[in-house]
Structure 1
Amino acid sequence: MSPATTALLSAAADLRLDPSPGFAATFPPCPSRVGEMRRRTASRLQAWKISQRDAEGITLAVSELVTNSVVHGEGSVCFVLRQVANEIRVEVTDSNPQPAMVKNASPDDISGRGMFLAAVFAQRIEVSDDGYTTTVAFPLSGHQR
C-alpha cells in the first residue's frame, strides 16, 4: 500500500470518530487538484465559521502544500483537513520520502517559496519520520502563536 493510501485509510478512520470532522481526499498528482483542495478547504473553513483572515492564510498555505506534493512528490497525494481544539491541521502525504523543507529562495528564484509561505501562517510544521507526511498546524485568532 502506498503512503498516500495508508494515510487516507487512517484519516478516514479518525474522521469517523471525530465530532467535527474535516475531510480527506486521495488523488493523482495533477495540477488541477491544487485548486480543488483550495476550494474545498475554503468551503470547510467557512462552514466552521473560521475568520476570513485565518481562512485566507490557511487556504494560501494549502495551495502551496498541495502544489509541493504535486510537483515534488511521487505517486498519489493524500490531503487531510481537520479542526482540532484551537487550530486547523493540514496533512499532506505523498510517496516521496524526501521531506518538505522551508527554504530561503533568492529574489531571482521562480520557485522554492511554498513551504516558506506555509510557515508564515503556521504555528508549527512537522514531517513524519519516514518523510512522507507533512503536517501543518494553524492557530485560530485569539490563540497564541
Structure 2
Amino acid sequence: MLLPLLRPPASDPAVEFRLDLFPPALPEIVGALRRLLRDTLRSIGLDSDAPCLVLSELVTNALVHGDGPPTVVLELRCGRLYIAVSDASVAPVVRPDPNDSRTSGRGLDLVAGLADEWGVKLIGSYGKAVWAVVAVGG
C-alpha cells in the first residue's frame, strides 16, 4: 500500500514526510506514537485529530490482537496521511457487526468513519498490515 515517496513537480517537500517506526509492544507506546504524530502534523500546520485517533486505534489493535511488536509507517503525501501498522499475526482482522450496546470493539468502526479508505494487506507468512488514508488539510 505504501509507495516510495514521489513528489509531484509543484509539491512542497517541507510538508511531506515518511517515518518508519519499530516501537516495542508496550501499551504506553500508543500515547507516545500519538504525541509524535500530533506534534509532527501541528509543526507543519496540519490538523492532527483524526489521524492521531486512527493511529491510536490501529496500534492498539496490533498490541491487543496481533503478535509481537508492531511496525508503524506514517507517510504524508499531497495532503493525505498514509498510516500502516503491521504485526506478525496472520489471524484475520475481524470487524464486529455494528451494535450500539457494545462497550468495546469499536476501533475499526472509528477507523472506517475517519479514514478516506482503509484495509488489510497480508504480508505472506510474516503477518499483516492494517492501513488507512486520512486527509490532513491545513
Q: For the superposition of Structure 1 and Structure 2, which TM-score range results when normalised by the shorter chain?
A: 0.7 to 0.9
Partner SS state of residue 89, structure 1 = strand
Paired with 1:99 and 1:36, the residues of 2 have a C-alpha distance of 27
Structure in which a larger fraction of residues adopt helix: 1
Paired with 1:76 and 1:59, the residues of 2 have a C-alpha distance of 19
Q: Which residue is 2:32 aligned to?
A: 36
Q: Which residue is 2:21 aligned to?
A: 25
For the aligned residues, what is the CA RMSD? Answer: 2.5
Paired with 2:95 and 2:46, the residues of 1 have a C-alpha distance of 26
Structure 1: stretches of 5+ with no match in the other structure: 1-9
* 1:104–1:112 CA contact under 8 A, matched in 2: no
Paired with 1:27 and 1:86, the residues of 2 have a C-alpha distance of 25
What is the percent sequence identity of the aligned residues? 28
Q: Which residue is 1:6 aligned to?
A: none
When residues 83 and 96 of structure 1 are mapped into structure 2, their CA distance, relative to the original with a 3 A threshold, is: same
Instruction: Output the TM-score relative to the length of structure 1.
Output: 0.75
Q: Which residue is 1:106 aligned to?
A: 99
Instruction: Output the TM-score relative to the length of structure 2.
Output: 0.79
Structure 2: stretches of 5+ with no match in the other structure: 8-12
After superposition, what is the alpha-carbon deviation per residue over 1:88-144, rounded to whole angstroms, capped at 9, x for unaligned? Answer: 1101000111243433353333321011101111011121134611110012349xx
Paired with 2:65 and 2:56, the residues of 1 have a C-alpha distance of 14
